[in-house]
A and B are shown apart, each in its own frame.
Chain A
């Protein structure tokens, strides 16, 4: 418990990091949100929401200026924008993530090559790409991904499975 509380103690570095993130990435975050939302106000709302998520995961950001952080911020901004978009549309359709799992998860890695992987990634839907990136590239746990993307852990696992399967199919097609 003590360790838990200690982990929450604010440091001047954290404060600095938050403001650094804000000044470094707010424009690119807005750009990403605008791309999806096509509305200034909604985009700003999304950026605000994204910052709330980033603040919750501040500990996972080591170097604000790094490519990894930039990619991380972009994913979070895109996710927040998608949530805003979803809320705006007030869609009542069932999420694809809620549909029963096909149970087929081939492992294509044995024959993977960088080129085919890159080509496959290019074609992968953005939500799959983001979740794979958070898992593999950023090394986050399912729980943290769920928190960042506003999903529950089960959905994250399902989406990861789907992403993996989709990537495997695409890689097969490339090879």
Chain B
């Protein structure tokens, strides 16, 4: 028979030999190395790898979700299905929300009165330069459970790093593709339920939804961020019973994304945060959540 899969099969041996001969006909490594790749290709490949990781992470969340469902049978009916919250701010009461954000911008300093030392004693907020970027972040509408989701593809994004006493923004032309957002949210929601159930203290869990309010500079992202479309900024941190801080695998591996009107800030991974003092970023998120509460935003 031709299709014996054993290595003693004559066809197998012939194919092995033939393959060897064919591979020898290929140019040598030195010559192959002369083939160059365009920058667009490299960027595309990096996006592919990033997407691959996101897919895999989503699968992992699915595993956790399954375990949670099997073991605990909790909260299943409350789990939002993908796309459930697709109604957007702009569709509902965009003008009202935007006016509230503007109002908040005018009094943004108020948010810094919070006594962070209770939870983060090592951190002295007064010495940070967080305020330098917070006014722009104030345009971000935060919500812990209900969000607005959409697809964002940007030709231009910026990575933000904290260096000494200021934030630096490095602009790159690597595209950011957030097409999996809805699915990720779904799985993270379940993941969240699971984390709570196994006794890890969820110190905070927040989705920050950057809403591209129509006409509010949305054309800036190379024209790609359409009004009413949104991106999501995800960051999770859990505290184990022993006090160990755990960052979620999602945040560690896939980073977080934030859209602020005309730019997308892409944090490549949690290391970016921790390297620049993750607490500051963390507190920033708390600010935004506090802002949300203060504004009484109920999206």
Q: Which of B21, B48, B53 is in CB contact (< 8 Å) with A52?
A: B48
Structural contact, A10 and B59, CB atoms closer than 8 A: yes
Structural contact, B15 and A10, CB atoms closer than 8 A: no
Structural contact, A5 and B59, CB atoms closer than 8 A: yes
Which A51-87 residues sit within 8 Å CB-CB of chain B? 51-52, 55, 67-68, 70-71, 74
Q: Which of B1, B21, B23, B38 is in CB contact (< 8 Å) with A107?
A: B1
Structural contact, A1 and B59, CB atoms closer than 8 A: no
Instruction: Determine the chain A residues whose CB is within 8 A of the CB of B66 once the complex forms.
Output: 1-2, 5
CA distance in complex: A1, B295 (Å)? 45
Residue from the set B10, B19, B63, B66 with the largest chain A CB neighbour count within 10 Å: B19
CB contacts between A and B, total, < 8 Å: 123
Which of B29-37, B92-100, B162-170 faces chain A? B29-37
Q: Which of A6, A19, A117 is in CB contact (< 8 Å) with B11?
A: A117
Structural contact, A67 and B23, CB atoms closer than 8 A: yes
Structural contact, A31 and B32, CB atoms closer than 8 A: yes
Given contacts A19-B49, A121-B18, contact A10 B2 (CB under 8 A): no
Q: Give A141 Cβ to nearest chain B Cβ, in Å.
A: 11
Given contacts A31-B35, A121-B14, A121-B18, contact A22 B45 (CB under 8 A): yes
Q: Which of A22, A44, A113 is in CB contact (< 8 Å) with B38?
A: A44
Q: Give B177 Cβ to nearest chain A Cβ, in Å.
A: 14
Q: Give A164 Cβ to nearest chain B Cβ, in Å.
A: 5
Structural contact, A18 and B52, CB atoms closer than 8 A: yes
Structural contact, A109 and B1, CB atoms closer than 8 A: yes
For residue B118, CB closer than 8 A to chain A, the reply is: no
Given contacts A28-B26, A67-B20, A137-B15, contact A167 B33 (CB under 8 A): no
Which B79-130 residues sit within 8 Å CB-CB of chain A? none
CA distance in complex: A122, B23 (Å)? 13
For residue A154, CB closer than 8 A to chain B, the reply is: no
Instruction: Determine the chain B residues whose CB is within 8 A of the CB of A137 once the complex forms.
Output: 12, 15-16, 19
For residue B5, CB closer than 8 A to chain A, the reply is: yes
CA distance in complex: A70, B20 (Å)? 10
CA distance in complex: A26, B24 (Å)? 17
Given contacts A27-B32, A109-B10, contact A48 B15 (CB under 8 A): no
Q: Which of A9, A27, A34, A113 is in CB contact (< 8 Å) with B59?
A: A9
| Chain A residue nearest in CB terms to B16 | A137
Residue from the set A27, A30, A68 with the largest chain B CB neighbour count within 10 Å: A27
Structural contact, B19 and A40, CB atoms closer than 8 A: no
Which A97-143 residues sit within 8 Å CB-CB of chain B? 107-109, 112-114, 117-118, 121-122, 129, 132-133, 135-137, 139
For residue B173, CB closer than 8 A to chain A, the reply is: no
Structural contact, B15 and A132, CB atoms closer than 8 A: yes
| Chain A residue nearest in CB terms to B24 | A67
Instruction: Determine the chain B residues whose CB is within 8 A of the CB of A8 once the complex forms.
Output: 56, 59-60, 62-63
| Chain B residue nearest in CB terms to A167 | B2
Instruction: Determine the chain A residues whose CB is within 8 A of the CB of B17 once the complex forms.
Output: 114, 118
For residue B22, CB closer than 8 A to chain A, the reply is: yes
Structural contact, B27 and A107, CB atoms closer than 8 A: no
Q: Give A16 Cβ to nearest chain B Cβ, in Å.
A: 12
Given contacts A51-B45, A67-B20, contact A40 B14 (CB under 8 A): no
CA distance in complex: A6, B45 (Å)? 26
Q: Give A47 Cβ to nearest chain B Cβ, in Å.
A: 7
Structural contact, A6 and B48, CB atoms closer than 8 A: no
For residue A15, CB closer than 8 A to chain B, the reply is: yes
> Which 9 A-B pairs give the minimum distances between C-beta atoms?
A10-B56, A117-B14, A27-B32, A8-B59, A5-B63, A137-B15, A44-B41, A71-B19, A121-B18
Q: Which positions in B face A, CB cutoff 8 Å?
A: 1-5, 9-23, 26-27, 29, 32-33, 35, 37-38, 40-41, 44-45, 48-49, 52-53, 56-57, 59-60, 62-63, 66-67, 70
Q: Could you give 18 example pairs across A and B, Cβ below 8 Å? A: A2-B63, A2-B67, A8-B60, A15-B53, A22-B49, A26-B45, A44-B38, A48-B48, A51-B45, A74-B22, A74-B26, A108-B2, A109-B11, A118-B14, A118-B18, A118-B21, A133-B15, A168-B2
